[in-house]
Amino acid sequence: MEVKTHSFWKRWWIWICVAIIFLPLISIYVVTRSFILTPLIERVLENELGTEVHVSRSVWQWDGGVVLDEVVLKANSIQGEAADVIALLNVSVGLDTVTPLFNPAITSIDIDSIRIRLAESATNPGEFNFSNLLASDKIELPSLESSESDRVTSADSTTPMVVLQKLVVETGLMENGNWTLDNSKTFTVSGITQEESSTALQLIDA
């Protein structure tokens, strides 16, 4: 009986040790699955920006980072495609850790393109889709500058390095949830100047 008792507790001790070792790894694996990671990122961004955010598919990179297919900032009380005021496409975010559970800091942001959609109400002239979005004091749009030459991106030690390839500006009309494109303009981003309280984009007409 004594031998069986010792054997029983030995087996349980082994299982406890295995659980202690593998449970954190299993937790990290589960959290980094897209169906869990995507809504977590949406919630964090919504809390930070003070507006509705939609994220399309997120993929965790085990070298420390996450890739997002699309991040859309939506205007409250606007229906249809006109609500998608700002869309970031193909976003790669670099982090200072390979685990997402310990409040990682962002080290870099690489964005293929940003689309800004500006819509005016067809029935109420002077009413725009971005009015509610800009009402949030957490969102500050970068200033835009024309440029014919490349400029080096600058940032201090606490600001993530940001790389942006293209900026697309769409203008049009919205009515009863319908969005009608009037004009679209694409700019190449030649450089980004980052300061402590502001960001400026240098643009070249594409």
Express each pLDDT in 41-96 by its tens digit: 999 888 888 889 999 989 988 888 899 999 999 988 888 999 999 999 999 999 88
**Stronger pLDDT, 7 or 47, i.e. the higher one:** 47
* pTM of the predicted model as reported, rounded to 2 decimal places: 0.77
Longest Cα–Cα distance of the chain, Å, equals: 88
DSSP strand pairing (106-121 vs 161-175): parallel
**Stronger pLDDT, 151 or 94, i.e. the higher one:** 94
**161-175 sheet: strands from edge to edge:** 52-61, 65-74, 84-95, 106-121, 161-175, 178-194, 199-205, 143-146
Express each pLDDT in 95-140 by its tens digit: 887 766 566 788 899 999 999 999 999 998 989 998 877 665 556 6
What percent of the chain is predicted at pLDDT more than 70? Answer: 77
pLDDT of residue 155 exceeding 60, the answer is: no
